[in-house]
Amino acid sequence: MALPVAFFALFFAWPVAAIVARGLRVDGVWRFGRITDVLTQPDIRHVLWFTTWQALASTALTLLAALPAAYVFARLDFPGKQVLRAVVTVPFVLPTVVVGTAFLALVGRGGLLDDLWGVRLDTTVWAILLAHVFFNYAVVVRTVGGLWAQLDPRQEEAARMLGASPLAAWRKVTLPALGPAVAAAALMVFLFTFTSFGIVQILGGPTFATLEVEIYRQTSEVFDLSTAAVLTLVQFAAVGAVLAVHAWTVRRRETALRLVDPKVTARRPRGTGQWALLTGVLATIALLLVLPLAVLVQRSLDAPGLGYYRQLTNTDGGTFLVAPLQAVWTSLQYAVAATAIAVVIGALAAAALARRDAGRLVRGFDALLMLPLGVSAVTVGFGFLIALDKPPLDLRQSWILVPLAQALVGAPFVVRTMLPVLRAVDGRLREAAAVLGASPWRVWREVDLPMVRRALLVAAGFAFAVSLGEFGATVFIARPGNPTLPVAVARLLSRPGDLNYGQAMALSTILMVVCAAALLILERLRVDRTGEF
């Protein structure tokens, strides 16, 4: 636990505390009365209410849409499954500003729905909710499906032989086993939608605003750092409460599970029900995920002769110090470094948290690990600039600052992906190895690692994907000469003109292709090199 605790203390707790102190401390005096002043404002109470209920609605809709897909990817085998799994994950790594723009092109003025049926949703909350489902669909599919694929189907079959109906067997055997993974996925979706920024900023307009949007507005437009600090504390407290409830309820439902090779559990669809379910999932993916991506590609090809793509090789002194295409290589370098950091930190934390004899202090750290997903990325970005500007941690001019910020978001995904599988490993296997003389390191290498190798690869893929798409904190700390892809897209979208918009769509398309290729490689490695369980 030493390294994960030190990492989160230095690069999360300290920067956030620094920015909050800067906002609430005036002339050396703490102004705690400012908290009451801010929270009694009607517009702030409206923001708090909207932030909460839209996050709950988005989470429910995402689970409803994605759980059938989690079953399909876990239990059914069909042609193109690996490619489709990569396609499902691509929306999650897109910058939120690009997701918002894609849905604006679909449901806004002059969008696809407006052209075909004269329907516009950009002035309603439905556009935000659908965009959130689009963005978080992969979280449920990969988190729940990853564990579902390893559950021994013979447990459910045994219940069927004892007289249980298919629904009763699923409800009493499979669902309780999936409970921790479903709860973890719901938690991640709720945190992402609770702190939604880019999507609400574009689709919400002046009518709808989350806490994250209000913090950004108070910081960069109104320049009221004290109000932003109060809202950060409120967001911090709300997320902490959710995580505490999650840790208290989910842990009581976790039991040792029988895990098997995922290749054994996946079978060709059988019967009308499974074929109908597969067809419905494919239709949902086509309409909800592929269609917005197709709009992005179509917009990037509007200029004749791939004009927008050719412009990416030119240096635009008004926006970038380098050619926009350089952002692709920069993002890949940062993402690889951030993935390495996140996997090391997250794997160590998950291994410690999975121990049955872990104390309350260690188990409490489980909830704290998720806080970076629920705290304003704007706050973290500003906090990096304020806290990490003096020796011995003067990192403002160092390239490592961006991967550190990205790893903060990636590490919780590593923990949440690996922890259910680690806790499902039968402790008697470790005890038997120890009795036979194996050292703790050898027990981990020969007992735990073969069981969690698949989860480790999935976790690395999540961390890499998150790092490629991270925007909130990176926008404040990325160097002007080394912008990441999300930062480059946001800068182009902020400038008027068809050329800038087209280049933003072209960069977004390149990001989709890069992510799809990386995820497809990951899927092949996971399938080809996962050993017998």
d(CA 427, CA 455): 18
Across 375-501, the runs of DSSP E, i.e. the strands, are: 389-390, 393-394
d(CA 406, CA 279): 37
Reference 468, options 503, 428, 519; nearest CA is 519
Model-level pTM greater than 0.85? no
Alpha helices in 152-270 (DSSP H): 153-161, 166-169, 175-194, 198-203, 211-216, 225-250, 262-265
Amino acid at 242: V
Question: How far from 315 is each of 150, 228, 323, CA to CA, in Å?
Answer: 50, 36, 4
Q: What is the pLDDT of residue 531?
A: 37
CA 353 vs. chain centroid, Å, equals: 21
Task: Give per-residue pLDDT as tens, 268-324.
Answer: 777 788 889 889 999 999 988 888 888 888 878 888 878 888 888 877 655 666 777
For residues 360 and 248, is the Cβ–Cβ distance under 8 A? no
Helices vs strands, H then E, count in the chain: 29, 4
Q: What is the pLDDT of residue 150?
A: 74
d(CA 249, CA 179): 10
Q: What is the pLDDT of residue 338?
A: 94
For residues 425 and 447, is the Cβ–Cβ distance under 8 A? yes
Q: Which residues lie closer than 8 Å to 523 by C-beta, 6 or more apart?
A: 82, 85, 86
DSSP-derived 3-state class of residue 76:
strand
Q: Which residues lie closer than 8 Å to 229 by C-beta, 6 or more apart?
A: 19, 20, 22, 23, 24
Question: Hey, what long-range contacts does 516-519 have (CB within 8 A, 24 or more apart)?
Answer: 516/86, 516/87, 516/90, 518/461, 518/464, 518/465, 519/85, 519/86, 519/89, 519/90, 519/461, 519/465
Q: Give, to the nearest 10 degrees, the angle between helix 125-148 and helix 401-424.
A: 50
Tokens of 352: 């410690």
DSSP 290-334: IHHHHHHHHHHT-SGGGHHHHHTTS--TTT-SS-TTHHHHHHHHH
Q: Which residues of the chain have pLDDT under 70?
A: 26-28, 109-111, 114-115, 118-123, 205-206, 245-266, 316-321, 356-364, 367, 374, 519-520, 522-533
Tokens of 137: 């669909």
Tokens of 531: 């050993």
Question: How far from 423 is each of 104, 119, 301, 363, 462, CA to CA, in Å?
Answer: 42, 49, 48, 13, 20
Facing residues of 26 across strands?
Answer: 29
Reference 150, options 262, 268, 263; nearest CA is 262
DSSP-derived 3-state class of residue 30:
strand
DSSP-derived 3-state class of residue 367:
helix
Q: What is the pLDDT of residue 450?
A: 79
Reference 325, options 306, 302, 299; nearest CA is 306
Q: Give, to the nearest 10 degrees, the angle between helix 401-424 and helix 449-469.
A: 150
Q: What is the pLDDT of residue 53?
A: 92
Helix (H) or strand (E) holding 377: helix 377-387
Cα diameter, the chain:
74
Backbone φ/ψ region at 249: left (φ over 0), alpha (ψ -120 to 50), beta: alpha
For residues 208 and 122, is the Cβ–Cβ distance under 8 A? no
Specify the residue for token string 């080394």.
Answer: 482
Q: What is the pLDDT of residue 18?
A: 83
For residues 151 and 257, is the Cβ–Cβ distance under 8 A? yes
Residue 420, preceding peptide bond in cis (omega within 30° of 0): no
Q: What is the pLDDT of residue 464?
A: 87
Task: Give per-residue pLDDT as tens, 191-246.
Answer: 888 888 878 887 876 678 888 888 878 877 777 778 888 888 888 788 777 777 66
